[in-house]
Structure 1
Amino acid sequence: MKRDMDLVRDILLAIEAKPSPKPINMTELEVPDHPDSSSRRKHIVMLAGAGFLDCEPTRSKTNPDRIHHVLVFDLSWKGHDYLDSIRDPKVWKKIKEKSAQIGNTSFEFTLEIAKALAKQQLKSVGLDV
């Protein structure tokens, strides 16, 4: 399965919007515009493995590196930072355009593009960074 960065963004937004601090089973998380539950689950597992979620992962008994289920409490600090950098739909559109031009959609690269765009915005309001 190919990683879907739009789905990643939408999952992070859905977790942040959770109405209660109570944990949610990854199978119960509703993500608008993404009805494929197997794809959502796979991406939540990847986000947990990458440290973007404050969660309780259930690991395989035969391979402890493999997460097969996630109970999600919230976004981690890293998850919040990443979401804050890609939250704005206009910025997200620009990030996707730049990523497509370069052919790289990794978390780190996406974050670097977001930082560069933020620096451009700071310069446009008179703050030189």
Structure 2
Amino acid sequence: MELNHELIRSLLLFVESNDSLLGVSDDQLRDFVKKQNVSYEQLTYVIRRLEEKDLINAYIQTGSNIVVDMSINSLTFDGHAYLDNIRDPEVWKKTKSVTSKLASVSMDIAVKVASNVVIKMLGLD
């Protein structure tokens, strides 16, 4: 399955906007999926990858080879740092412009490109 960077950004913004200390529930994630017009499986894939990169703290319960419950407890410090770099729509637009020159880029590269875009926009390069 392809890693959807647009979905990653939307999900991180969604998790951050949640005011509950309990995090984002499965029901909220199912509503998010409908609004984003993606499948629950695509979202599950993204959540697993974000947890592997230590950008979120998530809970995924499976049974009979399907996800039966999923929630996101919080963003991690690194998750907040990445989101801070891509939050601004202009930064995100420039990041996508740079990364679109290739067929695909890794999450590590996307993080570095976003950081470099911010540095250039601040005139610190």
Quickly name the TM-score band, shorter chain normalised. Answer: 0.7 to 0.9
- Distance of 1:104 and 1:37 partners within structure 2: 21
CA, structure 1 residues 110+97, in 2 after alignment: closer, same or farther (shift >3 Å)? same
Measured after TM superposition, the shift of residue 3 of structure 1 is: 1.0
Q: Secondary structure at the match of 1:51?
A: coil
Which of residues 41, 45, 52 is equivalent to 2:44? 41
| Paired residues, number | 119
| Corresponding residue for residue 112 of structure 1 | 112
Task: Pick the structure with more helix per residue.
Answer: 2
Question: Normalising to structure 1: TM-score of the pair?
Answer: 0.76
Could you tell me how far 1:43 is from its partner in structure 2?
1.1
**Partners in 2 of 1:31 and 1:19 — Cα distance?**
19
Amino acid at match of 1:21: L
Of the two, which has the highest radius of gyration? 1
Distance 2:96 2:46 in 1: 18
Q: Write the distance in 2 (CA, Å) between the matches of 1:90 and 1:117.
A: 10
Stretches of structure 2 that go unaligned for 5 or more consecutive residues are none
Which sits farther off after the overlay, 92-101 or 26-35? Answer: 26-35
Q: What is the aligned partner in structure 1 of residue 85 from structure 2?
A: 85
**Distance in 2 (alpha carbons) for counterparts of 1:42 and 1:116:** 27
Letter in 2 for 1:46: R
Q: Structure 1 regions of 5+ residues with no counterpart? A: 61-66
Q: What per-residue deviation string (whole Å, max 9, x for no partner) do you get for residues 10-51 of structure 1?
A: 000000001211133345322574133421222112211221
